[in-house]
Amino acid sequence: MSQPPRLYPSSPRDALVSQYVGQPLSALPTPAAVLDVAAVRRNCARMLSCARDLGLQWRAHVKTHKTAEVTRLQVGDSDADGPARIVVSTLEEAEFLLPLLREYGGRGRPVNVLYGLPLPPGQLARLAALGRELGPGSISVLVDHPAQLECLEKFAQAGADARVVPHAYIKIDMGGRRAGVQLESAAFTAVVEAALRAHDAGAVVLSGLYSHAGHSYAGDSRAAAVAMMAAEIGALVRAADAVVEARAAGAGKGLPPLVLSAGASPTALAVQNLLSGEMEQMASGAGMPDDAGAPRQLMAAVLDLGALLEEVQEKGHVAEMHAGVYPLLDMQQLAARSTARSALSWRDVALTVLAE
């Protein structure tokens, strides 16, 4: 596919390897971002393991690092890791990763790229070109207004393979007031009805609902982070109930199981508190803060979240996590204290900046 010219072209990887691999840090031009690869591997493996152990679908956001190497670690580089699902904040991120995504597709591994912003009409042709390269089932979009669904009706005309129908996720504002539609609002009802009409017309596949608890970054405890993830899942369950109710009125025939995609790095990390080993520690109070109420608050939050995830399954939906900062981490993530210190400490921060 032809790509628009870059304002700041990337240096070829081979040239960078030749110039810098094996050199001391003092040889790097400053400022330079330096990654601790061992920490990145641990952080990515821990998240993949958590999703697998809890039976959750996983989608990796690539905006923090924008590299093929870390993307491989985020999605797992084995076909046994299942579909490679990613979120991008810019189409250039997706275009840069196209060789990796083609590689996965060539091995028979399904790929899906979610453009993580409501789609502007001016980007439709670029997104369609990605779909043409990657094939059916490869493109997902967020919608929070009926006009965006009207735009998606022109997806095939914009140059996509006619077999490539974009998958649409309705973006839910569950408290951050940054993007999305609020539940029980006229705007929410309008976008649900428009999405079901577009699904019936074959313009999109209404795949699910999506939330991002950006305000979870203000948390300062494991209990707060788990409770915020429960708030995300709870909002998505209520939204899914509304979609199912609207479908019962006759729209949305052949709708697949709805994917409820929740997450920000603090809330996705918080899900690790549901693992059996963490539950045992909570029950004993081991590794807990000095506050005597903290273990009880955390256990209550964990039980609430666990019950919500069971409800998602019972209603025939699919629970998905997404996050992007967690491979590298930073001081903000340490301050949020969303999971055990054994998985969230200075040794897990993989990014430093070399400056002078």
Contact between 294 and 239 (Cβ < 8 Å)? no
Confidence band (pLDDT; 50, 70, 90) for 79? confident
d(CA 186, CA 95): 36
Name residue 168's amino acid: A
pLDDT confidence band for 157 (50 / 70 / 90): confident
The DSSP element (H or E) to which 81 belongs, if any, is none
d(CA 338, CA 50): 14
- Match 């207004």 to its residue by tokens: 145
Question: What global pTM score does this model have?
Answer: 0.92
Q: Does residue 289 surpass a pLDDT of 60?
A: no
As a whole number, mean pLDDT of residues 171-188 equals 89
What local confidence, expressed as pLDDT, does residue 292 receive?
45
Q: Alpha-carbon distance 44 to 78, whole Å?
A: 14
The H or E element containing residue 171 is strand 167-173
- Please give the sequence-ordered ranges of beta strands (E in DSSP) within 67-138, or none if there are none: 84-88, 111-118
SS3 content of the chain, % helix, strand, coil (to 5): 50, 15, 35
Give the pairing type, strands 139-143 and 181-182.
unpaired
- Residue of 92, 75, 315 whose CA lies nearest to 208: 315
Query: Residue 59 forms beta bridges with which residues?
Result: 322
**Contact present, 273 and 344 (Cβ < 8 Å):** no
Q: What pLDDT, on the 0 to 100 scale, is given for residue 290?
A: 44
Average pLDDT score, the chain: 90
**For residue 120, what are the β-bridge partners?**
none
What six digits make up the tokens of 135? 């094939």
CA atoms of 326 and 82, how far apart (whole Å): 20
What are the pLDDT digits (tens) for 97-156? Answer: 999 999 999 999 999 999 999 888 899 999 999 999 999 999 999 999 999 999 998 887
pLDDT reading at 4 higher than 80: no
**Which tokens hold the place of 327?**
């491979």
Going by C-alpha positions, the residue among 157, 122, 161 that lies closest to residue 139 is 161
Give residue limits of the domains in the chain.
33-343
Q: Give the pLDDT band of residue 340 (cuts 50, 70, 90).
A: very high
Residue 353: which pLDDT band, with cuts at 50, 70 and 90? very high
What pLDDT does residue 294 have?
Answer: 77
Give the mean pLDDT of 180-203: 95
The total number of residues shown for the chain amounts to 356
Task: Determine phi and psi for 149, rounding to 5 degrees.
Answer: -70, -35
Q: What is the pLDDT averaged over residues 288-303?
A: 75
Residue 293 has pLDDT above 60, yes or no: no
- Report residue 59 as tokens: 């989608």
How far apart CA 206 and CA 141 sit, in angstroms, is 10
pLDDT (tens digit, 9 = 90+) per residue, 237-267? 999 999 999 988 877 778 999 999 999 999 9
pLDDT digits (tens, 9 = 90+) for 21-55: 999 999 999 999 999 999 999 999 999 999 999 99
Q: How many CB atoms lie within 10 A of CB 354?
A: 13
Tell me which of 3.40.50.10380, 3.40.50.1820, 3.40.50.300, 3.20.20.10 is the CATH number of domain 33-343. 3.20.20.10
Residue 291 pLDDT more than 50? no
Question: Cα–Cα distance between 44 and 57 in angstroms, integer?
Answer: 15
Distance, CA of 255 to chain centre: 22
Asked if 308 contacts 230 with a C-beta cutoff of 8 angstroms, the reply is yes
Amino acid 212: pLDDT: 92
Confidence (pLDDT) at 101: 98
* Sign of the torsion angle spanned by Cα atoms 297, 299, 302, 303: negative
Q: Cα 169 to the chain's mean position, in Å?
A: 12
